[in-house]
Amino acid sequence: MDAKLKLEVVRADQISPSLQADIHSLCSRAYEEDLTSLFSIFKDATHVLGFLGTTLVSHALWVTRWLQVGTKPVMRTAYIEAVATEKEYQAHGFATMVIKRIAEGIREYEMGALSPFSVAFYERLGWELWRGPLFIRTDDGLMRTPRDGDVMILRLPRTPDLDLYAPLSAEWREGELW
């Protein structure tokens, strides 16, 4: 493909209603379900937008979450969500460019994390599969989450030593827990 993808990093509060609608539409098409309501929990998100000309063709965002390995201190984590590329532009490296740009933008965090659509896709970009049990922290204590979905982490300059087989927990949130 000859077209060059132009990446923009934009905070959620700086996105126009029109662009917000384009993001929701792109993500809903890519996931083949309406994801509009999901964005209501991403108010403090930072988006990476991939444009061909003026057309949005690729997207991902990160939000701050607080992950904890075992009983170690909680870590300020950039949690990646809504990775999406228009079907006709998939397999052109656009999602790779977006994820690499996110990795540059989250370096001040202690760790990056996500629930992958493809473990192999993220492994080739340096992400590691979490092997230990997964939990959500609630007011009533730890709630074990089923292992029907994976979590991957990206080590950043501030990431402490991690045991990928230890328990990993995140704070409870509305919607998808991981």
Could you report the per-residue pLDDT of 81-137, keeping only the tens digit for each?
A: 999 999 999 999 999 999 999 999 999 999 999 999 999 999 999 999 999 999 999
Number of Cβ within 10 Å of residue 147's Cβ equals 9
* Residue 147: predicted pLDDT: 67
- Which residues lie closer than 8 Å to 128 by C-beta, 6 or more apart? 152, 153, 154, 155, 164
Q: What is the largest CA-CA distance in the chain?
A: 54
* Residue 146: predicted pLDDT: 77
Answer whether 79's CB lies under 8 Å from 171's CB: no
Q: How many secondary structure helices (H) and strands (E) does the chain include?
A: 3, 10
Mean pLDDT across the chain: 94
Is 3 a residue whose pLDDT tops 80?
no
* Residue 119: predicted pLDDT: 96
* Alpha-helical segments (H) within the chain: 17-31, 94-105, 119-123
Q: Poorest-confidence range of 15-19, 34-38, 64-68? A: 34-38
Enumerate long-range contacts of 45-48, CB under 8 Å, 24 or more apart: 45/11, 45/12, 45/81, 46/9, 46/10, 46/11, 46/12, 46/105, 47/9, 47/10, 47/11, 47/12, 47/15, 47/23, 48/7, 48/8, 48/9, 48/98, 48/101, 48/102, 48/105
Q: How far from each other are the two terminal CA atoms of the chain, in whole angstroms?
A: 34
Decide: residue 150, CB within 10 A, 0-12 exposed, 13-18 middle, 19+ buried: middle
Given the candidates 3.50.50.60, 3.40.30.10, 3.40.630.30, 3.30.450.90, the CATH classification of the domain at 6-171 is 3.40.630.30
